[in-house]
Amino acid sequence: MTSPAKRHPAVQYFYNIYMALNTIGLGLWITFKQFIRFSPTTVIYPYEKRELPERFRGTLFMDAKLCIACDACAKICPVDCIDIIPEGKGKERHAVLFDINFYKCMWCGLCTEVCPTECIYMTQDVETVFYDREQMIVHFVPQLPMPGTLGYNAPRPGQASKREKSAADKAATDKPASSPAAKPPAAAVPAAPAESTNEVKPAAAGAAASPPPPAEDVSSASASPEEAAPEAEAPPKAGE
């Protein structure tokens, strides 16, 4: 409390003993209160997951049907982790290759800020685990199934065909119910920007159903939830 120099040494000696016992008792009382009113601030991770903030910067995701291949994201990227090859002129312009190298990405979020169509955004996915380094270069064209599956759910090189097959099977079973709705591409375009800003989009489920390579031509084969289907069919034609 007051400066120790003021006291007589003998008084100070006993004062030290008193202060030692006092402060130790205080500390013990605080930890004991913690001990009996046990309220963990942790969660049991794989079973419970902590709610992430709304604007959490998780793994990047790219919505190929909205992309106009303007290259703004690739230009602003401080680590050059985005590769784009554009094709077409004017409104036809789209990306034929859109790769994000997650080995380099540092989650700065600059690409999402410059994107004019909001087609590249950050999801709430934090479980970005890859089996090998090649896999960390993620190809977003053709359209990937959905945000939150880049990591360990992504197909390994050998598994890719199996996964696509099961997705195609699922699409085939869904098809009779939803194919009538799968039509006007024009209607989908205005709706899409609004959707693409939220994280887990229902549209992505439709996209998942379509086997990535033949997405453009075999349009009738791929379909499922209503508004998702037209977007999924024609990512490159999204401008029109």
Q: Is 28 an interacting residue with respect to other proteins (CB under 8 A)?
A: yes
Q: Is 198 an interacting residue with respect to other proteins (CB under 8 A)?
A: no
- Note whether 164 and 154 are within 8 A (CB): no
Minimum distance from residue 1 beta carbon to other proteins (Å): 19
d(CA 167, CA 154): 13
Of 38 and 54, nearer to other proteins (C-beta) is 38
| C-alpha dist (Å) from residue 230 to 14, 65, 79 | 84, 10, 34
Among residues 11, 22, 32, 113, the one that binds other proteins under rule CB under 8 A: 32
Among residues 31, 53, 176, 180, the one that binds other proteins under rule CB under 8 A: 31
Quick one: which of 60, 190, 184 has its CA closest to 123? Answer: 60
| C-alpha dist (Å) from residue 229 to 115, 172, 217, 219 | 24, 13, 14, 9
Q: Is 41 an interacting residue with respect to other proteins (CB under 8 A)?
A: yes
Q: Is 45 an interacting residue with respect to other proteins (CB under 8 A)?
A: no
Minimum distance from residue 2 beta carbon to other proteins (Å): 21
Minimum distance from residue 172 beta carbon to other proteins (Å): 41
d(CA 114, CA 120): 9
Residues in touch with other proteins (CB under 8 A): 16-17, 24, 27-28, 30-32, 34-35, 38-42, 44
